[in-house]
Amino acid sequence: MAALVRTFLLLSLAVLVPLPMSSAPASTPSPVATESAYFGGGCFWCLEAFFEAQPGVVGVVSGYAGGSTRNPTYEAVCSGETGHAEVVRIDFDPAQTSYLALLEKFWLIHDPTSLNRQGPDVGTQYRSIILWADEAQQRAAEAAKTALQARLDGRVVTEIVPLATFYAAEVYHQDYFRRNPNQGYCRAVIAPKLKKLGVK
């Protein structure tokens, strides 16, 4: 009888004593290793809205690049005296899309044969430009431009230059179309262009 009682007590203790917790930290997902492309072709509000909707793109930032003035403002860039163009930085996941795929999208969203003008936007700040971040991007951009030229009658005027510094534009320019869909320019220019390209 005593043996049965001891066995019962031992089993009860086994149930009550908590199992030791693992000291190993919980695993966390690895951050996505993104790459960036830098394009300019008309107003950056339009480019931003278009590329934000593309598969594999994780973020788009409107800004200025291609000129010599440090820390340019929107007003200064609009004067045409800074040398900068309105551009976007497109951060993308290379496991989901590629730089080449983004280049093909870039040709669709603007007219690469129009010199210093896209629709109602006129000036060197609206020029067609690709700023490459490394030699692989340079080779890809030049090859894509050559292939595009073979398909078009007009001369492709897109500049292909090394990226020096990208300056993010003022906060009120970021996500502009998404935040201001009823603004005049957005309704008259951006919305019809996005609709034509199948972007909702």
- Is 22 a domain residue? no
Whole-angstrom CA distances from 20 to 10, 23, 27, 47, 192 are 18, 9, 19, 56, 63
46 included as an active-site residue: no
Tokens read off for 192: 């019809």
**C-alpha closest to that of 45 among 103, 105, 122, 126:** 126
Boundaries of domain holding 60:
35-196
Q: How does pLDDT run along the chain (200 residues), one tens digit per residue? A: 444 334 433 334 344 444 344 444 545 555 779 999 999 999 999 999 999 999 999 999 999 999 999 999 999 999 999 999 999 999 999 999 999 999 999 999 999 999 999 999 999 999 999 999 999 999 999 999 999 999 999 999 999 999 999 999 999 999 999 999 999 999 999 999 999 999 97
Residue 21 has a pLDDT of: 42
- Is 182 a domain residue? yes
* Contact criterion met (CB below 8 Å) for 80 and 124: yes
Residue 200 has a pLDDT of: 78
- Is 28 a domain residue? no
Residue 60 has a pLDDT of: 98
Classify residue 63 by burial, with Cβ atoms within 10 Å: 0-12, 13-18, 19+.
Answer: buried
Q: What's the rounded Cα separation, in Å, for the pair 35 and 170? A: 23
- Is 184 a domain residue? yes
- Is 137 a domain residue? yes
- Is 116 a domain residue? yes
Active-site residue (options: 43, 46, 78, 186)? 43
**C-alpha closest to that of 161 among 50, 85, 98, 100:** 85
- Is 19 a domain residue? no
Number of domains in the chain: 1
Residue 5 has a pLDDT of: 37
Q: What's the rounded Cα separation, in Å, for the pair 16 and 12? A: 6
Q: CATH number, domain at 43?
A: 3.30.1060.10
Residue 30 has a pLDDT of: 59
- Is 2 a domain residue? no
Rg (CA), the chain: 27
